[in-house]
Chains A and B, each alone.
Chain A
Amino acid sequence: DVKVTQSSRYLVKRTGEKVFLECVQDMDHENMFWYRQDPGLGLRLIYFSYDVKMKEKGDIPEGYSVSREKKERFSLILESASTNQTSMYLCASSPRRGWTEAFFGQGTRLTVV
């Protein structure tokens, strides 16, 4: 089975902190994604990557950056956390370019205080 693992289920951070959310997939997938999930808004794409060191902005990239130094790992970085970034963050991967099924991690619930 494909496994997408997010390093933390719950995080509490202070305003202004630099926050790293880590995601690892074990199936040699090319594509990796970070989504943000908020009630009533569904899932919104923050960033995605289709190759090592490649990244593309999604629909809501402001306040976030990403890093993909290895194929299996995709990190989401909040440079200076703010309270409006309190949310559920979901990582996903898919096998290759052009659409195929996406596999999701269990999510990280981030609270910024």
Chain B
Amino acid sequence: AQSVTQPDIHITVSEGASLELRCNYSYGATPYLFWYVQSPGQGLQLLLKYFSGDTLVQGIKGFEAEFKRSQSSFNLRKPSVHWSDAAEYFCAVVSSYNTDKLIFGTGTRLQVFP
């Protein structure tokens, strides 16, 4: 079955440090991939998406992600984290069986220390 794995449940970084959040997917064809962020008490906001083309995708708030087909990965990166980046991050892939559906990972909670 299709799935999205976010192996890190909780990550803590210092403000100004670089960040990489991992995402692996299982999918037969070229996937449509997304990263969403959820600030405390809020809904989800789209950070970036990959449909095709350039495998390095730029998003909002200084985030980027790289699609690596050989590793079935779509890791999210930011060169310098700000305290306001503390949130929960979700990776998602469009279902190959029903293109109206998103399959989400279990999320990674990011904590930022000053």
A contact set with B: CB distance below 8 Å: 4, 31, 35, 40-45, 48, 50, 56, 58, 90, 92, 94, 97-99, 101-107
Question: Which 7 A-B pairs have CB atoms at the shortest separation, nearest pair first?
Answer: A104-B43, A42-B106, A104-B44, A43-B104, A99-B94, A42-B104, A106-B43
With CB as the reference atom, state the residue of chain B lying closest to A4.
B43
* 29 A-B pairs with C-beta separation under 8 A: A4-B43, A31-B100, A35-B104, A41-B106, A42-B104, A42-B106, A43-B44, A43-B90, A43-B92, A43-B104, A44-B104, A45-B102, A48-B100, A48-B101, A56-B98, A58-B101, A90-B43, A92-B44, A94-B100, A99-B100, A101-B34, A101-B46, A102-B46, A102-B102, A104-B43, A106-B41, A106-B43, A107-B41, A107-B42
Query: In the complex, A94 Cα to B46 Cα: how many Å?
Result: 12
Distance to closest chain A CB from B87 (angstroms): 13
Q: A43-B92, A104-B43 are in contact. List 16 more A-B contacts (CB 8 A).
A: A40-B9, A42-B105, A42-B106, A43-B90, A45-B101, A50-B100, A56-B98, A90-B44, A92-B44, A99-B94, A99-B100, A101-B34, A101-B46, A105-B43, A106-B42, A107-B41
Query: In the complex, A93 Cα to B41 Cα: how many Å?
Result: 19
Query: In the complex, A90 Cα to B90 Cα: how many Å?
Result: 14
B contact set with A: CB distance below 8 Å: 9, 32, 34, 36, 41-46, 49, 90, 92, 94, 98-102, 104-107
